[in-house]
């Protein structure tokens, strides 16, 4: 699907389902260097089970026209404008990693467009390893390999996915490799610079569900504790034997957690 924000084309996935304005919308936000397809094992299920599914490509990602936005605050303002343009407010907002920071900032700055939050691979702050920042600035393929290695728990790196023949490491690496040149570096720099997570969490009234990979090396469950302390209406779901890419590593468990959170809010 396609729309226009500030004169630039925006592409988003709706799982080949028409947007039914009589049912709640679920907006999926991807992480750094990724795009809407990272949610394909959840967004399609949501679309066929009573919700409008809108899996967003942020500016400069996939076929959404750039340039990429340089701060989490700018991304949040852009998502708010998209939700308003599509006339789907208030929406449930699901964010992964960078997308979870965007969702937090959106709920704090534009509470009228957010019905609930579901945050995966999240933390109060997301400082980025300098070697990864350098690799993203100079060699995107190396950055993708680093992110892929760190993002997946050891147990899932040898196969055994719910979807037969699905190779998680190659899929994640390819997803980052196809990101337009320069976009990953902008994304990681925005994550590294963002310091507003705690303040945003303290301002949020909407119900929040955190879905955390038990073995997440990039945003450890411990790094989410300051958010949990600040959030009022919060639930936490831990996915065993999953890392930062829990929506791929254990797609069924994450799907079930998302559906339970949607049903309760």
**Number of folded domains that form the chain:** 1
- Domain containing 202: what range? 2-264
Nearest Cα neighbor of 22 from 111, 79, 87, 80 is 87
What CATH number does the domain containing 10 carry? Answer: 3.40.50.1820
Buried b (16+ CB within 10 A) or exposed e, 54-64: bbbbbbbbbeb
pLDDT(214) > 60: yes
pLDDT band at 155 (very low <50, low <70, confident <90, very high): low
Q: Give the pLDDT mean for 165-182.
A: 72
What residues contact 26, with CB distance under 8 A and at least 6 apart? 43, 46, 51, 52, 53, 54, 91, 92, 93, 94, 262
pLDDT(62) > 50: yes
């Amino acid at each position: 699907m396609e729309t226009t924000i500030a004169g630039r084309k925006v592409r988003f996935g709706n799982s080949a389902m028409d947007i039914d304005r009589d049912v709640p919308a679920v907006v999926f936000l991807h992480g750094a260097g990724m795009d809407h397809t990272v949610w394909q094992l959840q967004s399609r299920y949501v679309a066929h089970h009573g919700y409008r599914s809108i899996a967003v490509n942020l500016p400069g990602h996939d076929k959404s026209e750039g340039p990429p936005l340089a701060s989490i605050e700018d991304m949040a303002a852009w998502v708010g404008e998209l939700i308003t343009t599509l006339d789907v407010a208030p929406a449930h907002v699901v964010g992964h990693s960078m997308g979870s920071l965007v969702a937090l900032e959106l709920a704090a700055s534009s509470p009228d467009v957010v019905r609930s939050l579901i945050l995966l691979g999240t933390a109060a702050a997301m400082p980025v390893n300098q070697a990864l920042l350098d690799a993203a600035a100079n060699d995107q393929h190396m950055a993708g390999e680093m992110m892929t290695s760190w993002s997946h728990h050891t147990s899932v790196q040898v196969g055994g996915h719910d979807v037969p023949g699905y190779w998680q490491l190659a899929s994640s690496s390819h997803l980052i490799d196809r990101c337009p040149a320069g976009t990953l570096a902008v994304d990681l720099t925005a994550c590294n610079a963002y310091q507003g997570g705690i303040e945003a969490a303290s301002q949020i009234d909407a119900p929040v569900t955190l879905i955390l990979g038990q073995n997440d090396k990039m945003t450890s469950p411990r790094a989410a504790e300051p958010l949990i302390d600040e959030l009022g209406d919060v639930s936490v779901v831990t996915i065993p034997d999953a890392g930062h890419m829990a929506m791929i590593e254990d797609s069924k468990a994450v799907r079930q957690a998302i559906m339970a959170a949607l049903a309760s809010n």
